[in-house]
């Protein structure tokens, strides 16, 4: 397909949309046609070249004495596709063309230059999920207006503290519109909108009574209705078979009550935007722990709205190491009911995680060693994706900095722009603190706890692209060292801003009961950092999820309306063109597996930088999580993705490594261990020819997308 890359006919120049005259390059037409053909499964390089040649023939006849514009060429492409009987391809090409115009207008509006282009899928996600609609379902705001709406709602809080909100509005709007920082999805959904609930993450108490259980069910419904996700510790519920004195009956146990929460979530589409999400936690010493571990092991659709995690103590982990007994304790009587082999419980955890991805593990002692308000209460549960351990009736506001944009060029070399990063961190902490006051709370107990501790969680996204831009392999000590340096810097600057806000506005009410009162005179927020799975906001920002590696170099995207788009990582595509090894056929070849590691036609140094999640030894995933955790107040949500042939022993080793490296929890996913997953590796033929990803997947857990954290 390289033969027509520089056309030698009468057409030598074209007019760009901005009026510039540039050299005509037929290869660009061929590549665009090829992608359109591939998207509807009728494509090959030869067919694309034939259609491209026909387009050029028509151009030469119609523009013998004139210079054609980009629009002229695209009109003829559609004309030829229709002549060839490829109406579906023509329709897709035409729709794609319109969307690209919309995106170009948006980029101009946001002042985004010299960056990888916003994807069509990002535009679709914004329109489908985030932009406000009227009663007829018609979109009534642009992306720019979305960011204005959010910036306006959040900056107004400054008036309550005697400050002028105009400067904050400009700062908040700038970092969002340039896609340098984005808050969690509920803030984007609901700011200055009817629901008004801006938090992503909640933990609700579940005590050992029907009143408490069904109060939690009701409050879960209210939270999910507004777009939030909820975590629970079910460890206080008496075990199955235990006595119920009030009715002289027999208890059904915590797993049976989890089904009630699951059913309620099934019928409530979170915030009218997406499904709800929950985290169910049970202590390893609960008598029903084996039933809990195996709750999601069948092929039945059971507890599909739950992530589940076993909370383990250091004593339990040491009992596993020493092959000792482990006590199971009835929470109703606080008495030992049985002694079991700790390793037997551990092996059931790792075997079921290997089979289905559940359960994960939460390291309870490590979490509470870093509990900022131990006098207020003990932490026993996390939000749905595990990045925020919370007290009962507590919530947290999250946001993420796109670190791939925190760079500058010095003498032609890319390096981190530490000044820009500091400024963005401090704007983001100010923003997230304001969200606490801008929020509308529909449960009084939550409002009291949230405003008592004022926890926020600032994290990062685009980590994989940052490493690529710096030329650093993800699975390297250099990458781990940079993560250590960068997250320490972010944490330090976030804390500085919280201290500044504490002096100006007052510390969080529980400050004197917190660990911070020993060394600080003021602190606005009990926590300031958290690494969330950024999901949809990564799609909007055009970057990889959170601290995850790339999931694929080239792939087919299943977009929201059921269409398909052929996507190539923009940094790889740019580098391939710069180094002269780009071709549409090569991109198609890469898309079959998503990986380039076995492709000798690609330079070795490029292959070393562009590694995907399944290319990387799983231990590097854990090391990366652990080094970020060193400098994070809350926790790190990261999925340790494993190849299909990983063993149960591999899972156990990784879980132990996470404990040894002081992670607060761990989740693994072995490829293919669930019947449905959001990333499917191509098999080279038929419907499964290409690697495919769902519309809002940007990396991390292949079993599903967190619908609330990002």
Can you give the three-state secondary structure of 60-112, one letter per residue?
HHHCCCCCCEHHHHHHHHHHHHHHCCCHHHHHHHHHHHHHHHHHHHHHHHHCC
> What is residue 704's predicted lDDT score, i.e. its pLDDT?
61
Span 294-298, average pLDDT: 88
| Residue 580 burial class via C-beta count within 10 angstroms: exposed 0-12, middle 13-18, buried 19 and up | exposed
For residues 423 and 220, give the distance between their C-alpha atoms in angstroms, rounded to a whole number. 37
Q: Which of 144-148, 407-411, 587-591 has the lowest mean pLDDT?
A: 144-148
Answer for the pair 65, 11: CB distance below 8 angstroms, yes or no: no
Distance CA 624, CA 273 (A): 32
**With contact defined as beta carbons under 8 Å apart, do 657 and 650 qualify?**
no
- The pLDDT tens digits for 96-110 are 788 677 767 766 765
Tens-digit pLDDT profile for residues 629-660: 999 999 999 999 999 999 999 999 999 999 99
Q: Is residue 604 part of a domain?
A: no
pLDDT above 60 for 432: yes
- Confidence at residue 9, expressed as pLDDT on a 0 to 100 scale: 66
Return the pLDDT at 471.
Answer: 97
Quick one: which of 699, 692, 642 has its CA closest to 671? 642
Q: Let me know whether 431 and 488 are in one domain.
A: yes
Residue 78 structural domain: 2-98
How far apart are alpha carbons 467 and 77 in whole angstroms? 38
In this structure, is residue 321 part of a structural domain? yes
Half-sphere exposure of 343 (CA within 13 A, CB side): 6
User: Taking residues 391-401, what's their average pLDDT?
Assistant: 97
For position 116, what pLDDT does the model report? 40
Instruction: State yes or no: pLDDT of 524 exceeds 60.
Output: yes
Tell me how far apart the alpha carbons of residues 392 and 236 are, in angstroms, rounded to a whole number.
13
Question: 337, 359, 382 — which closes off a domain?
Answer: 382
Give a yes or no: residue 593 inside a domain: no
Question: How far apart are alpha carbons 462 and 476 in whole angstroms?
Answer: 17
DSSP-assigned states of every residue in 305-355? TEEEEEEE-HHHHHHHHHT-EEEEEETTTTEEEEEEEHHHHHHHHHHHHHH
251 with 367, same domain: the answer is yes
Q: How many domains, the chain? A: 3
CB of 288 within 8 A of CB of 245?
no
pLDDT digits (tens, 9 = 90+) for 303-317: 989 999 999 999 999
pLDDT score for 97:
81
**What pLDDT is stored for residue 27 in this prediction?**
86
* Mean pLDDT lowest among 185-189, 263-267, 278-282, 530-534: 263-267
| Token reading at 197 | 């609930």
Based on the fold, state whether residues 230 and 350 are members of the same structural domain. Answer: yes
From residue 315, give the alpha-carbon distance in Å to each of 288, 319, 323, 362.
19, 6, 12, 14
Q: Is residue 627 a part of any domain in this protein?
A: no
* Percentage, residues of the chain above pLDDT 70: 91
Q: Give yes or no for residue 697 having a pLDDT over 90.
A: no
Q: How confident is the model at residue 561 (pLDDT cuts 50, 70, 90)?
A: low
Q: Is residue 343 exposed (0-12), middle (13-18) or buried (19+ Cβ within 10 Å)? A: middle
Residue 419 burial by CB count (10 A; 0-12/13-18/19+): exposed, middle or buried?
Answer: exposed
Q: Per-residue pLDDT for 112 more than 90?
A: no
Among candidate residues 387, 465, 548, 573, the one labeled active-site is: 387
- Listed residue (578, 532, 549) closest to 707, CA to CA: 532
Active site (annotated) includes residue 543? no
pLDDT at 4: 45
Give the H or E element holding residue 470: helix 463-470
Tell me: do 161 and 239 sit in the same domain.
Answer: no
660 is catalytic: no
User: Are residues 375 and 411 located together in one domain of the fold?
Assistant: no
What is the phi/psi pair of residue 587, to 5°? -60, -40
For residue 605, pLDDT over 80 is answered with yes
- Weakest-pLDDT range from 209-213, 263-267, 513-517, 578-582: 263-267
Q: Mutual orientation of helices 584-593 and 26-39 as an angle, nearest 10°?
A: 30
Handedness of CA 240, 241, 242, 248 (dihedral sign): positive
- 73-88: per-residue pLDDT in tens? 999 999 999 999 999 8
Residues 241 and 207 in one domain: yes
Domain final position from 351, 382, 413: 382
The CATH number assigned to the domain holding 281 equals 3.20.70.20
Cα–Cα distance measured from residue 291 to residue 196, given in angstroms and rounded to the nearest whole number: 39
Bridge partners (DSSP) listed for residue 327: 339
Q: Provide the pLDDT for residue 606.
A: 98
Whether residue 424 sits in one domain with residue 368: no
Any idea which residue has 């023509």 for tokens?
Answer: 90
What does the alpha-carbon distance between residue 605 and residue 574 come to, in Å, rounded to a whole number? 15
**Do 190 and 60 belong together in one domain?**
no
DSSP run (H or E) holding 693: strand 692-694
User: Are 526 and 414 in the same domain?
Assistant: yes
Which is nearest to 513 in space by CA: 526, 524, 529, 501?
A: 526
Handedness of CA 212, 217, 219, 220 (dihedral sign): positive
The contacts of residue 653 (CB under 8 Å, 6+ apart) are none
> pLDDT per residue over 44-77, tens digit each?
667 888 999 999 999 999 998 899 999 999 999 9
Assign 1 a pLDDT band (cuts: 50, 70, 90).
very low
Same-domain check for residues 305 and 402: no
Q: Answer whether residue 292 shows pLDDT above 70.
A: yes
232 in the same domain as 157:
no
In a domain, 171, yes or no: yes
Q: Strand, coil or helix: what is 26?
A: helix
276 and 359 in a single domain? The answer is yes
Beta-bridge partner residues of 229:
201
pLDDT tens column, 125-166: 888 889 888 777 888 888 888 998 999 999 999 999 999 999
pLDDT for res 138: 81
pTM of the model: 0.89
Structure tokens, 263: 């059913």
* pLDDT the model gives residue 689: 81
Other Cβ atoms closer than 10 A to 211: 8
| Confidence bin at 565 (pLDDT 50/70/90) | confident
pLDDT band, very low/low/confident/very high, at 227 (cuts 50, 70, 90): confident
Alpha carbons 341 and 165: distance in angstroms, whole number? 60
Helix axes 618-629, 477-505, angle to 10 degrees: 30
At 269 the pLDDT is 65
Distances (CA, A) of 384 to 121, 427, 516: 25, 27, 27
Question: Is 665's pLDDT higher than 80?
Answer: yes
Residue bearing the bigger pLDDT, 708 or 237: 237
Q: Which of 128, 156, 256 is nearest to 540 (CA)?
A: 128
How far apart (Å, rounded) are the C-alpha atoms in residues 650 and 621? 13
Domain boundary (98, 125, 158) is at 98
Residues, the chain: 710
pLDDT by residue (tens digit) across 4-55? 444 556 788 999 888 899 999 998 898 888 878 877 766 566 788 899 999 9
Distance CA 261, CA 264 (A): 5
- Coil, strand or helix: which one is 672? coil
Task: Specify whether 706 is catalytic.
Answer: no
The 10 Å Cβ neighbour count of residue 145 is 12
Contacts of residue 304, defined as CB under 8 A and 6 or more positions apart, other chains included, come to: 262, 266
Separation of alpha carbons 97 and 135, rounded Å: 29
**Pairwise CA distance, residues 365 & 661, whole Å:** 13
Flag whether 212 is in a domain.
yes
Contact (Cβ atoms closer than 8 angstroms) between residue 375 and residue 701: no
Q: Would 419 be classed as within a structural domain? A: yes
Does residue 300 have a pLDDT over 70? no
Answer whether residue 637 is part of any domain: no
Is 611's pLDDT higher than 80? yes
In this model, does residue 239 exceed pLDDT 80? yes
Of the candidates 49, 171, 219, 385, the residue annotated as catalytic is 385
Contact by Cβ (8 Å): 664, 363: yes
d(CA 484, CA 462): 16
pLDDT the model gives residue 708:
58
pLDDT at 463 over 50: yes
């Amino acid at each position: 397909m390289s033969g027509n890359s520089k056309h030698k006919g009468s057409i030598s120049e074209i007019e760009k949309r901005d009026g510039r005259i540039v050299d005509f390059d037929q290869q660009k037409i061929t590549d665009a046609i090829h992608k359109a053909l591939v998207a509807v499964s009728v494509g090959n390089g030869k067919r694309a070249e034939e259609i491209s040649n026909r387009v050029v023939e028509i151009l030469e006849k119609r523009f013998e004495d004139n210079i054609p514009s980009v629009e002229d060429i695209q009109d003829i492409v559609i004309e030829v596709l229709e002549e060839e009987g490829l109406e579906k391809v023509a329709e897709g090409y035409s729709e794609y063309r319109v969307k690209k115009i919309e995106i170009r207008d948006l980029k101009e509006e946001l002042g985004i230059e010299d960056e990888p282009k916003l994807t069509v899928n990002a535009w679709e996600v914004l329109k489908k999920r985030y932009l406000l609609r009227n009663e007829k379902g018609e979109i009534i705001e642009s992306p720019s207006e979305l960011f204005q709406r959010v910036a306006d709602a959040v900056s107004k809080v400054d008036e309550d503290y005697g400050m002028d909100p105009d400067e904050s509005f400009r700062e908040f709007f700038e970092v969002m519109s340039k896609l340098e920082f984005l808050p969690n999805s509920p803030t984007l959904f609901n700011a200055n909108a009817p629901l008004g609930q801006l938090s992503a993450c909640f933990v609700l108490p579940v005590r050992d009574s029907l009143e408490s259980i069904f109060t939690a069910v009701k409050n879960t419904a209210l939270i999910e209705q507004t777009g939030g996700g909820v975590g629970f510790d079910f460890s206080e519920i008496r075990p199955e078979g235990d006595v119920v004195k009030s009715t002289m009956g027999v208890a059904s146990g915590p797993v049976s009550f989890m089904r009630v929460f699951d059913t309620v979530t099934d019928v409530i589409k979170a915030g009218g935007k997406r499904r709800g999400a929950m985290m169910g936690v049970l202590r390893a010493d609960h008598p029903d722990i084996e039933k809990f571990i195996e709750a999601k092991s069948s092929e039945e659709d059971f507890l599909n709205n739950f992530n589940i995690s076993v909370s383990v103590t250091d004593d339990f982990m040491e009992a596993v190491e020493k092959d000792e007994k482990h006590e199971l304790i009835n929470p109703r009587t606080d008495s030992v009911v049985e002694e079991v082999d700790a390793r037997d419980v551990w092996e059931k955890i790792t075997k079921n995680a290997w089979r289905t991805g559940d359960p994960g593990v939460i390291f309870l002692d490590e979490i509470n060693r870093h509990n900022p308000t131990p006098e207020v209460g003990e932490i026993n549960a996390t939000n749905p994706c595990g990045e925020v351990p919370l007290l009962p009736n507590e919530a947290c506001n999250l946001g993420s900095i796109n670190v791939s944009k925190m760079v500058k060029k010095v003498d032609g070399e890319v390096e981190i722009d530490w000044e820009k990063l500091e400024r963005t961190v401090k704007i983001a902490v100010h923003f997230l603190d304001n969200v606490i006051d801008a929020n509308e709370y529909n449960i009084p107990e939550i409002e009291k706890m949230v405003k008592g501790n004022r926890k926020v969680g600032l994290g990062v996204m685009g980590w994989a692209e940052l490493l690529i831009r710096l030329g650093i392999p993800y699975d390297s000590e250099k990458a781990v060292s940079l993560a250590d340096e960068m997250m320490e810097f972010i944490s330090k600057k976030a804390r500085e801003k919280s201290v500044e806000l504490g002096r100006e506005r007052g510390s969080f009410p529980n400050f004197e009961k917190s660990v911070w009162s020993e060394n600080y005179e003021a602190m606005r927020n009990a926590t300031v950092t958290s690494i969330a799975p950024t999901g949809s906001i990564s799609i909007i920002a055009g970057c990889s999820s959170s601290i995850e590696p790339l999931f694929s170099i080239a792939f087919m995207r299943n977009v929201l309306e059921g269409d398909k788009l052929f996507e190539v990582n923009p940094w790889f595509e740019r580098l391939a063109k710069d180094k002269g090894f780009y071709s549409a056929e090569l991109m198609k070849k890469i898309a079959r597996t998503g990986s380039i590691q076995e492709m000798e036609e690609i330079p070795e140094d490029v292959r070393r930088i562009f590694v995907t999640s399944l290319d990387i030894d799983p231990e590097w995933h854990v090391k990366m999580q652990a080094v970020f955790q060193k400098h994070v107040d809350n926790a790190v949500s990261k999925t340790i993705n494993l190849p299909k042939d990983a063993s149960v022993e591999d899972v156990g080793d990784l879980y132990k490594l996470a404990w040894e490296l002081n992670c607060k929890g761990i989740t693994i996913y072995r490829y293919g261990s669930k019947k449905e997953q959001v990333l499917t590796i191509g098999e080279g033929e038929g419907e499964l020819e290409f690697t495919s990803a769902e519309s809002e997947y940007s990396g991390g857990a292949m079993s599903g997308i967190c619908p609330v954290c990002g």
